[in-house]
Amino acid sequence: MNARLMKRFRSGDPDAARDLYDAYGRAVFAVAYRALGDRSLAEEAVQQTFLQAWRAAGRFDPDREPGPWLYAIARRVAVDVYRRERRHLATDEEPEVALLPPSFEATWEAWEVRLALDQIPDDEQTILRATHYLGLTHEETAERLGIPIGTVKSRSYRAHRRMAELLSHLKEASA
C-alpha cells in the first residue's frame, strides 16, 4: 500500500499528498511539537516537512518505507525552525547557541509512539489518553466516561498489550 501511495505522491498526485498527511501528519506534528514546544511553530514545521518531501519525492524510492524518510525531514525542519527562532532571540549577553536543547532528544521515540497510537482503536486510545496524558486512575476514567470500571480495565489491558507489541523494537536491550 505504501509503495502505491509513494508512487502516486512522487508523480504529483494531490490526493496522495493528502493520504500521506493522513497517515503521518500527526507523527510529524508530534516530532515537531516535542522538539519546538510551540504549537504554531510545530504546525509551520509540519507544512515545511510535507513541502520538502513533495519537492524531494522524485528522488525517493517508492519501494522503501516512507516513515523514516519523513521523520528525518521532520527533524531537520524542526532544527532549522529552532535555529531561526534562536537567531531572532540572540543578544550580546545571550548569543545564539547551535547545540540542540534536550527537547530534540527522543523525537524518534515520540514518532514511533504516535504512529503506534494511530493503530490503536479509538475506544482503547481514549483509555490510554486518560491514563498517560490526563493522569486519571481507572476509577476516575470510568466515572468520566460513564462506563463500568471493568470495561476500563479490560480496554486498558488490551491497549497496553497492543502498545507493548507495537513498540517492541523501540530500543534494543544493551545486555
Partner 1 sequence: MTCDEFQAAYLEGAEDDTTRAHLDGCAACRTRLPSLQAGRTVMADPAVWEEPSPELGEQVAMLLQGATKPPEKAKWPVRTMVGVAAVAALLLLVVAVVALRNDAPDWTVDIAGTDQAPLAMGTIEGWATSNGTRMVLNIDGLDPAPDGYFYELWLSRGPIHVSAGTFTATDDVVVWSGVPRRDYPRLWITLEAIDEDESPSPTTVMDTQTG
In the complex, the residues that contact partner 1 under the rule CB under 8 A are 9-12, 14, 17-18, 21-22, 25-26, 29-31, 33-34, 39, 42-43, 46-47, 50-51, 54-58, 68, 71-72, 75-76, 79, 83, 98-100, 105-110, 112-114, 117, 128-129, 131-133, 156-157, 160-161, 163-164, 167-175
Residue 58 beta carbon to partner 1: minimum distance, rounded to whole angstroms: 4
Residue 162 beta carbon to partner 1: minimum distance, rounded to whole angstroms: 9
Residue 103 beta carbon to partner 1: minimum distance, rounded to whole angstroms: 9
Specify the residue, 37 or 148, whose C-beta has the smaller distance to partner 1.
Answer: 37
Specify the residue, 137 or 148, whose C-beta has the smaller distance to partner 1.
Answer: 137
Residue 27 beta carbon to partner 1: minimum distance, rounded to whole angstroms: 9
Furthest-apart CA atoms within the chain: distance in Å: 60
Residue identified by cell 548569543 is: 95
